[in-house]
Amino acid sequence: MMPPRPERGPRIDTSRPHDPATTGKWKDDDHDAAHAARLDAHPDDEETTLTDTDLVVLGGGSGGYAAALRAAQLGLTVTMIENDKVGGTCLHTGCIPTKALLHAAEVADSARHGDAVGVKSSLEGIDMSGVNSYKDGVVAKLYKGLQGLVKSRKITVVQGTGRFVGDRTVEVDGQRYTGKAVVLATGSYARSLPGLDIGGRIMTSEQALTLDHVPDRVVVLGGGVIGVEFASVWRSFGAEVTIVEALPRLVAAEDEWCSKQIERAFRKRGIEFRTGVKFVGAEQGESNVTVRLEDGSSLQADLLLVAVGRGPSTADTGFAEAGVTMDRGFVPTDERLRTNLDGVYAVGDIVPGLQLAHRGFAQGIFVAEEVAGLHPQVIDEVGIPRVTYSNPEVASVGLTEAQAKERYGEVSTVVYDLAGNGKSQILRTAGGIKLVRSGGADTPGPVVGVHMVGERVGELVGEAQLVYNWEAYADDVAQLIHAHPTQTEAFGEAHLALAGKPLHAHG
């Protein structure tokens, strides 16, 4: 049997403005008493340094601004504190600029391989100033739109570095902002390794996004999402790329089948990778960087990209000093995103779990509705879709086969090869869709994992998350009609096969 999912809250109208009189979330008397207590502790605050609001949000990235926008939509007064630009890492130095580079890489590959479809085209080269102009233009347009949206919701934006001082209060340059609730959303930073200093020819993704040239040779340290995406970009731009990954396979957080598919595709593209080998050190010279590995071998390249994950940006934030429970820099929460302190929530990359912008969005919206007394449904972390935007893409939701076996014991799987899908052949992409179902053939349960590899499969993950989150059975999806010719047909065909009635597949 399936384990129970988190209990759903009552169905309510979540579009209505917040009304404390009807939600009963806060009591003005309690807030006034807390306000008086703060003044006793800080008697000078009344006239010069104390600003009250419904919600104080520390951090204007994906999770923070989502909380701010939704809270304002519900009628709460919101103060959002940001030390850089609203939009955070995702908009300015992460998701958006990286995907712009990946699109430019796709265009480069299309030009390079035009002859394969009868189009006389060739790739003359990569103009990085033009690529960066395109990338920066996308970011600027989205940033302008976000600024306008924040302004239209009458959200107070405070520019500066905030420090949480306890008692639902954040201090910025001597000014204190106190909320009936506080959201901690300070985001993350690009990690390095002990003894590996960033600078010169050794860089993280943030510096890589601003390169004014295409390097001839690159070593990518880390075979996770960031490393694989940059490796894909640089290979499309013409660089020789080698990925070094200490774990046994690339994108090791994904289903093992996905790793095999991406490794096979990378071999065909000429991307080299060394898995199961640890990094020892790196030395920079005038014209190159030498990377030493634990097996005694070394690699030389024009630059070394350090892509070993991201850490929580919680240093010098005052969290621990104010009594927030911490775990290796992260802020643990309960399923309703509450910290150990009353009225203090945390969202996004500082909360242990997947470090994804859309997870932060969802958590920000959740907290805003929770604070407004709407009691939203708890977020199922396993039901959050994951996409790696390399060529080919990797997209998944739910459990891997190994995780499903650990949870349910008996599982059944099927893989539908994209070779049988018309649109995938038109796109000249290889890959497949793997489904994981709880239970065996005689006792089938719902689909608990969807794993896809191929060009543009990230666009299929929307339907995949519905299947997982609605606990659909293969028969439920098999009866749905998918438009022809689309890649969504492959999704339908996979469920037909799992339901025991394959059409465009052997079996």
Q: How far apart are CA 465 and CA 386, in angstroms?
A: 10
Give the pairing of strands 50-58 and 175-184. parallel
Q: Are 64 and 183 in contact (CB under 8 A)?
A: yes
* Phi, psi at 170, each rounded to 5°: -120, 135
Is 31 noted as a catalytic residue in this protein? no
- In what helix (H) or strand (E) does residue 413 lie, and over which residues does it extend? strand 411-417
Q: What angle (nearest 5°) sits at the alpha carbon of residue 107, between those of residues 103 and 109?
A: 115
Please give the full DSSP string across 215-261, using - where no structure is assigned: -SEEEEE--SHHHHHHHHHHHHTT-EEEEEESSSSTTTTS-HHHHHH
Choose among 43, 327, 27: nearest CA to 180. Answer: 27
Report the distance separating Cα 332 and Cα 56, nearest Å.
19
Angle ∠(148,152,157) on CA atoms, nearest 5:
75
* Half-sphere exposure for 424 (CA within 13 Å, toward CB): 26
**Whole-angstrom Cα distance, residue 146 to residue 475?**
42
Strand order across the beta sheet in which 272-275 lies? 202-203, 303-306, 217-221, 240-245, 272-275
d(CA 66, CA 367): 9
Q: One of 484, 495, 504, 506 is an active-site residue; which one?
A: 484
Q: Please state, in angstroms and rounded to a whole number, the distance separating the CA atoms of residues 393 and 395.
A: 7
The residue whose two tokens read 């009628």 is 75
The DSSP result for 297-327, as a single string, is -EEEESEEEE-S-EEE--TTSSTTTTT---B
CB 216 within 8 A of CB 239: yes
Q: How far is CA 344 from the centre of its chain?
A: 23
- The whole-angstrom separation of Cα 316 and Cα 32 is 30
Choose among 41, 35, 37, 36: nearest CA to 53. 35
* Inter-residue contact 304 to 289 (CB < 8 Å): yes
- Cβ-based neighbours of 437, under 8 Å, separated by 6 or more: 411, 412, 413, 444, 445, 446, 447, 448, 474, 498
Please identify every residue annotated as catalytic: 484
